[in-house]
Amino acid sequence: QLNAVIFDLDGVITDTAEYHFIAWKQLAEELGITFDRAFNEQLKGVSRMESLERILALGDQADRCTMAEKEALAHKKNEHYKQLIARMTPDDLLPGMLDLLRELKRQNVKIGLASASKNAFTVIERLQIGAYFDTIVDAAKVKNSKPHPEIFLTAAKQLRVDPSTCIGVEDAQAGVAAIKAANMFAIGVGDKEALKEADYIVETTADLTYDAIVRAFYRE
Ligand code: G6P
Ligand code: MG
């Protein structure tokens, strides 16, 4: 039985994954480090500081920075990111997402948010979709980051549903791994190869209809 759908935010509900990419890329270039979209797949779903560590390691600069310098770099990236999200409106919801949220509500399926971002509330506010969520679990409420299942398990617990009756929706490798580790049905949005651990994969959110996800869930 399907009791809840728990969504990742960045890259699933809205295309803030692109804004994170743009902001990191600019910071990396200032440090003389270049990275491509393939490398960026590894940053999706990963916390701010861990993302910075991975970028510095890529450029062989991991040991060159003090902790205070790393804090300053992470802060700089976030300032750029905040500028990008400040202009968001409800029009920035990805295709089909508003219909899906509405249909889940109509069908009495609970809706959760599991985002590693400290900016999650701001983004939800900009999109004006806060009322759809029965629970929101963000970076401030969990100790372990994805691929650890804690964030998805916390959402299920707050929704008072068994994880095996939940669908998790993710665009990140680390996120799909977290959903699977939580013993939920994993839906991946995006690249088939990057998200191959998922139980069901759609190329874009336009394919994420209520009927499609319910059919996929019960086929298992
Ligand atoms: C999400 C995104 C990551 C981002 C992380 C932290 O998981 O997929 O790209 O690094 O949140 O976001 P924050 O807004 O706290 O820097
Ligand atoms: Mg994501």
**pLDDT of amino acid 139:** 86
Q: Which of 21, 46, 144 to mutate to test the pocket of ligand 1 (most atoms within 8 A of CB)?
A: 46
Instruction: Determine the residue type at 6.
Output: I
DSSP letter (8 states) at residue 205: G
**Among 10, 134, 138, 171, the one annotated catalytic:** 10
- Indicate whether residue 167 lines ligand 1 (CB < 6 A): no
Three-class DSSP category at 111: strand
**pLDDT of amino acid 109:** 98
Nearest alpha-carbon partner for 26 in 86, 88, 81: 81
Instruction: Determine whether 162 is an active site residue.
Output: no
Nearest alpha-carbon partner for 171 in 192, 156, 155, 153: 192
Nearest alpha-carbon partner for 94 in 211, 218, 202, 212: 202
**pLDDT of amino acid 140:** 87
Peptide bond into 163 cis (omega under 30): no
**pLDDT of amino acid 220:** 65
Cβ-contact 126, 85 below 8 angstroms: yes
Three-class DSSP category at 6: strand
pLDDT in 10s for each residue of the chain, 220 residues? 999 999 999 999 999 999 999 999 999 999 999 999 999 999 999 999 999 999 999 999 988 889 999 999 999 999 999 999 999 999 999 999 999 999 999 999 999 999 999 999 999 999 999 999 999 999 888 999 999 999 999 999 999 999 999 999 999 999 999 999 999 999 999 999 999 999 999 999 999 999 999 999 999 6
Cβ count near 30 (within 10 Å): 10
Q: In this structure, what is the dihedral angle of CA atoms 125, 10, 104, 201, given to the nearest 10 degrees? A: 170
